[in-house]
Structures are given as structure tokens and as C-alpha cells.
A and B are shown apart, each in its own frame.
Chain A
Amino acid sequence: MSEIVLAPARDREAEVPAQHPPAKRTRRNHGWYRLISPLAVVVIWQLASTANLVAKDKLPPPSTIWHTASTLITQSSPAYGTLQSAMLVSLQRMAIGFAFGAAAAIALALIAGLSRLGENAVDPLLQILRTLPLFGLIPVFIVWFGIGELPKIILIALGTAIPLYLNTFAGIRSVDAKLIEAAQTLKLSKPRLIRHVILPGALPQALTGLRQSLGVAWLALVVAEQVNANAGLGFMISQATQFLRNDVILVALAVYAALGLVTDALVRLLERRALAWRRTLLS
């Protein structure tokens, strides 16, 4: 015997979407394993140096580099100044160049992204700039702007602007036309359309561009600082080259690397916060 029960149709969409188990924790727990191989390299490097397998003046051991770093921080030397003041000078150059480059890139991407006229005016110029080898411009910049701060900042700004522009422009153009149409039916004004639909839609790709930009900008800083700087990490390196102080050079390089890591981590943090709406990042 079978009983037939006809219940009223339930609201099927009340189903809760599948909850993804938090995968983050496992990843974080495994994070420190990744430190093993770099630490092993440092230990081997140190041992090889102690055993005189590598020349200490060519490649100073980690202990010497550490010692040099702490001396450079605690004592101001006539040749180098202090490490933190050199770092601040470099960081400031970077910040100014990056700020100008990023502001220009976003403004140009909006001009090019939002209208055909803007695209025709702006995009060809940026495409030409893109093909120019950035560091090949240094001699020209020296002729135009001398050897002061200006050519360095312009080089960093250019290095920042181009990847950020290209990605933001492409991001704006890839915003789903259906969403723009829906926004039109909601009678969104142009500024609101840009703020609520176009910019957030372009953001994922703009952030990809931002990370590329930071990479190029740091590189531009390093190269620009080799050209007749009288302060900063690059200046510290060129001084150390003259005094054959490889330990100082390595300290300065380590600071460059650390700064690059920090800014990359900042962008990642920004991505995680700004793109929280994406399921791929939530799961």
C-alpha cells in the first residue's frame, strides 16, 4: 500500500547555496613550510662562507650582511648616511612617481574607456609609449630634465602608468553591457553609472594592472637611482661599488626586495577586501 501525500509546492529557491568549507586555514597552516628552503639556503651560504668555500669579499656571508645592516641603521657613516634615511629617500621617490603615474593612468583609462572619441585620442599615444623601451628613455630624460629628481620621478611614473592604463582601459571595456543596460533602465546618472557599475566592474583587471605597475615601478626606481643620485638606496649602492663594499650593496638590494614584497602584500590585501564579492575568493 502506498500513501500519496500532496503537499503544497515549497519555495524551492529557499535552498541554501552550498557552503564551501573554509580552505584558508589549511593553506595558512602550511605557509611556514615554505620558509624551509630559503632558510636552508641561508644556512648553507653561511656555512660555505665559514668554510672559506666562497670568497668573503665577493659574497659576504649572511652574518656579515646582518652586521652591516645593523651598523648602517645605528651609525650614520659619511659615505652612506643611514640605511633608513636612504630608504626614506627612495620610498619618497617611488611614492611621488607612483602617485602621479597611477593618477594619470586612471584618468586616461577613463577618458579612453568611456568614449570612442577619447579612445581615439588617448589610446594610440599610450600604445606608442608602451612600445618604447622605458630605460632607453633615460639618456633623453637626462638631456631634457637634467640629472635631478625630475627624470627619476618621470621614469617611475611612466613605468607605473602604462600597465595600469592598459589593464584599467581593458577592464572598463569588458564591463558587462547587460549590466550597463540594466543601469540605464534604473535611470542612473553618468557619474553614478561610473561609480557603481563601470569602476567596480573594471576593478579586478585594474588591480592586476596595479601589481604589474608596482613591479615595473620598483625596477624603474632601481635603474633611475643608479643615474647620478646623491641620496637614496641607489646612491648607497653606487658609493659601495666604489669602495668595493659588496655587503652594503647586498643590504640595499635586500631593502629594495623587502619594499617590493610589502607593496605586493598591500595590493593583495586590497584585492581581498575589494573583490570580496567574487565567489572564487570567498571559497
Chain B
Amino acid sequence: MAAHAALVRNLSRDFGGTRVLDDLDLDIAEGEFVALLGVSGTGKSTLLRALAGLDPETTGELEVPGPVAVAFQEPRLLPWRRVAANVALGLRAPDPPAVAEHALAEVGLAAKADAWPLTLSGGEAQRAALARALVREPSLLLLDEPFSALDALTRIAMHTLVLRLWRRHRPAVLLVTHDVDEALVLADRVLVLAGGRVRFSGLVDIPRPRDRDDPGLIQLRHRLLAELGVPKEGQF
């Protein structure tokens, strides 16, 4: 049996009588890049929070053998600690400042190590948050819509950066997103969450870098949009 970065069985979560996750099963293999799609309110973030160990009120089985790191939709840097100190925060390593410096260089932020987080642009702050997640050498990296607040061009740059970092560090990634194209460009496997379960799972067996107009991607995009209940654009 292949080693897994996360193994979820019969995971359920109620919010005041509403069942958001309902007997959900999910496997994420070591080093696998998984994108999780779903319309708003289907429990994507709930699942991610459960995997991050932030939700004690789930029922079912949840097995995450290795260290987990999270990057949220907002960078969530401590505004009163300089960027490098944010990256090194809580780090159990022989020389946290050096590790932080290296991680910042990796995301192209070496020059901002001594800056206050509030002086960073949105993209810079999100890169700092990625550096903070990656220095922990996670075997599972959870990304909760980390690019959704960025402008389109910055987002493309971030996609490239995330793929590069993923290739180098090889964590398993679970990327929660609203953006079908983002999922298709980045992931090995795209899941659609609906009715509290993984309703669709599609492998994206196309080498990277991927062309959005690749026929295989177009086909998968139609399928995903259909699964999400979205009619073809321009169709009445």
C-alpha cells in the first residue's frame, strides 16, 4: 500500500444540525498535489480545518502521519513581528533565523526580511506566508484559497512559485480553491466536494507546464463545471 500523507474515513461535521461533512473519505498520497473544488458552503474549508487539526468537533477517522502546515486566504502574519521573525515563529530547528532567511530567499523575499508585514503588498505577504508554511518541512501542505485575493497577474506568478516549491520540497498539497482553471493548472488530481462528500475525483494526467487550451484540460474543465452545476459559459 502506498504511503499516504492523509487518510480520512467517515469524517462528519455538524454545524447546529446542518451536516456539512457527511461520511467523507479521502486519501492523499505522499507528494501528491490535490485540488479541492466545490461551490460555497460545501465544507471545503471545514475539511481543511479538520486536516489542520483546528477542529476538535469532527467525528470519524483522520490520519495525518507527518507535520502539517497551512497557508490561509489572508496571510495571517503577526503584524508586530518582522517578516523573518514571522517565518521563524515557533520553529524547532538549530538555527531558526538562518532557516527563515533561506526560506524567504526561496520565495524571492530576501530583501523584505526586516520589513513589517503591514508594509508588504498582498502578493508579498502571501509569499511570506508560504515561506512560513514551508520552513516547517510539512509532509502535508494545506492551502486555503491562498491566491483568491490576489490580482490575476500576481496569481499566475504565485502558481509558478507554488509549483516550483512543491517540486523542490515534495509535500503533499491540498489546495482549496474556487477556481477551476487554477486547479487544472496545478493539481495531479482534482476533487469536487458536494453533499458533504467527495463527489468527483479526476486525474489530470498532463505534463506541466500546462497549456490551458490543451484538449485534455478542456474536456476535464467541462466535466468539472458540470459537476459543480455550472452550465457552459455563454450558454442560455
Contact = CB atoms under 8 A, between A and B. Distances in A.
B81 A196 contact: yes
Contact of A17 (B70, B79, B119): B119
A15 B80 contact: no
A186 B136 contact: yes
Interface of B: 52-54, 68-70, 72, 74, 76, 78-81, 89-90, 108, 116-124, 127, 132, 136, 150-151, 153-154, 156-157
Interface residues of A, number: 30
> What secondary structure prevails in chain B residues at the interface with A?
loop
Contacts of A277: 79-81, 116-118
Nearest to A19: B119
A114 interface: no
A181 B154 CA distance: 26
B151 A185 contact: no
B132 A186 contact: yes
B51 to A, nearest CB: 11
5 contacts: A11-B154, A11-B157, A188-B90, A277-B116, A277-B118
Given A13-B127, A13-B157, A200-B78, 19 more contacts: A9-B153, A13-B121, A13-B123, A13-B150, A17-B119, A17-B120, A179-B76, A182-B72, A183-B78, A184-B53, A185-B52, A185-B54, A192-B90, A196-B78, A196-B89, A200-B81, A276-B116, A279-B116, A282-B116
Contacts, number: 80
Nearest to A199: B80
A183 B119 contact: no
Would you list the 8 A-B pairs with minimal beta carbon distance, nearest first? A13-B123, A182-B76, A200-B80, A186-B90, A185-B70, A188-B90, A13-B121, A277-B116
B80 A203 contact: yes
Contacts of A279: 116, 118-119
